[in-house]
């Protein structure tokens, strides 16, 4: 029994699981929202789809691993190929089910993420499009967190629009009108919601529709995370044989550039304004951009990111042996945690950033028992 658990832990790379929750948390922070039920569903969906990718990866590489990595669970005979493929399918279904509970937009993003994972493992991994596909998967994972958070939570700035029997809206001051999201932001949410309530429930003869947060605010964070993933994936293509100095050198340059970009103060011109009372998007641990404490925290988190990822890449550049290349890849995977914390902190969610950093010691401890790669 213990041997079987160990084999499945190796197949699923459970030590890398701690790099996943921060995607959804950073996505929620990018929208100015505290984590909620939708964020939790996104985390669960991400974990399932990530593990599905791990199982499918080893199933697809079983012949190659029999030569280069005979110790892995499938070539060593500890797990059968059929069991690994079945696990990949079941985990994918579970991930999509959790995403569906967060709403149709979240399911749409999760479906794209699942398709990208399967396409990467089954074909794209061994093509020039491999790093881009993996980068796209990580970016979609962050956007999944943003979409799920925007679609299920209460208390965001928006206006309910009751629809009458003829399809005419009577909310917020007149037939056939609905308060735009940008105007609702200017009126700071409370006034808009007050007008909608003043219209009275008697005029609502149909289902209420709600203006959701604009998830495009999470695109810059998704792009930064995707760029990091691209760099690490490019190095991972040489981890079995080593010998490449170009890949780790390019990744090192990309990591330094990402650190410089992340430490800059983020302009939040599209941020939601604070809503009076509880439950509003500004009513949590958000700090004012540019204040000394957030800048100090952002600098410290960025330093942790660079320290985790850059040093092993430098070693792999100077000596591109398989062990040092594999170490650089493992460190690049672990560096996603401080990067996620940076993305949350630069969005003003200092508490979320610190919470994400709390996963670092857990990931480090488990990585000593189960390899990340």
Each residue of 76-106: pLDDT tens digit? 999 999 999 999 999 999 999 999 999 999 9
Position 72 pLDDT exceeds 60: yes
In this structure, are residues 106 and 144 in contact, taking their beta carbons and an 8 Å threshold?
yes
Query: In this model, does residue 138 exceed pLDDT 90?
Result: yes
Residue 289 pLDDT grade (very low, low, confident, very high; cuts 50, 70, 90): very low
CA–CA distance from 20 to each of 2, 71, 333, 358 (Å)?
Answer: 25, 26, 10, 13
pTM of the model: 0.78
Q: Does 302 have pLDDT greater than 80? A: yes
**Would you state the structure tokens that stand for residue 22, as one six-digit string?**
């921060």
pLDDT for the residue 242? 74
Average pLDDT over residues 186-200: 43
Quickly state the pLDDT bin for 373 (edges 50, 70, 90).
Answer: confident
pLDDT digits over 269-278, tens only? 334 444 333 3
Confirm if 60 and 93 have CB atoms less than 8 A apart: no
Position with higher pLDDT, 303 vs 368 = 303
Smallest CA-to-CA distance from 22 within 345, 373, 371 is with 345
Task: State the Cα angle at 104 between 101 and 105, rounded to 5°.
Answer: 115
> Of 282 and 112, which is predicted with more confidence?
112
Could you report the per-residue pLDDT of 149-174, keeping only the tens digit for each? 998 544 333 333 333 333 333 333 33
The set of residues, in sequence order, having a beta carbon less than 8 Å from that of 75 and lying 6+ positions away, is 62, 65, 66, 69
What's the average model confidence in pLDDT over 322-350? 94
- The pLDDT assigned to 185 comes to 41
| Phi, psi at 334, each rounded to 5° | -65, -30
- pLDDT tens sequence across 196-244: 444 444 333 333 333 356 889 999 999 999 999 999 999 998 887 777 8
Predicted local confidence at residue 295, as pLDDT: 84
């Amino acid at each position: 029994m213990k041997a079987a658990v160990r084999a499945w832990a190796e197949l699923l790379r459970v030590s890398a699981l701690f790099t996943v929750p921060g995607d959804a948390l950073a996505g929620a922070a990018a929208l100015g929202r505290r984590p909620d039920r939708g964020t939790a569903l996104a985390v669960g969906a991400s974990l399932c789809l990530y593990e599905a990718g791990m199982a499918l990866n080893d199933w697809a590489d079983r012949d190659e691993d029999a030569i280069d990595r005979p110790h892995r669970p499938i070539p060593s005979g500890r797990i059968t190929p059929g069991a690994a493929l079945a696990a990949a399918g079941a985990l994918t279904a579970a991930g999509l089910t959790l995403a569906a509970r967060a709403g149709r937009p979240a399911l749409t993003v999760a479906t794209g993420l699942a398709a990208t994972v399967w396409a990467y493992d089954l074909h794209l991994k061994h093509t020039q499009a491999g790093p881009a596909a993996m980068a796209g998967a990580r970016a979609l994972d962050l956007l999944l967190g943003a979409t799920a958070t925007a679609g299920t939570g209460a208390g965001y700035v928006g206006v309910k629009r009751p629809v009458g029997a003829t399809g005419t809206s009577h909310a917020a001051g007149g037939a056939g009108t609905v308060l735009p999201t940008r105007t609702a932001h200017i009126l700071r949410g409370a006034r808009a919601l007050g007008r909608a309530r003043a219209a009275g429930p008697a005029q609502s003869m149909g289902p209420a529709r709600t203006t959701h947060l604009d998830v495009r605010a999470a695109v810059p964070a998704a792009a930064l995370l995707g760029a990091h993933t691209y760099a690490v994936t490019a190095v991972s293509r040489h981890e079995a044989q080593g010998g490449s100095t170009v890949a780790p050198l390019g990744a090192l340059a990309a990591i330094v550039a990402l650190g410089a970009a992340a430490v800059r103060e983020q302009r939040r011109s599209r941020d939601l304004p604070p809503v009076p009372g509880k439950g509003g998007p500004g009513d949590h641990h958000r700090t004012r951009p540019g204040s000394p404490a957030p800048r100090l925290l952002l600098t410290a988190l960025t330093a942790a990111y660079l320290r985790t990822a850059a040093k092993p890449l430098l070693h792999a550049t100077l000596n591109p042996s398989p062990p040092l290349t594999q170490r650089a890849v493992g460190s690049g995977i672990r560096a996603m945690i401080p990067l996620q914390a940076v993305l949350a902190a630069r969005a003003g969610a200092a508490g979320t950033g610190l919470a994400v950093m709390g996963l670092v010691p857990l990931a480090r401890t488990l990585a000593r028992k189960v390899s990340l790669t």
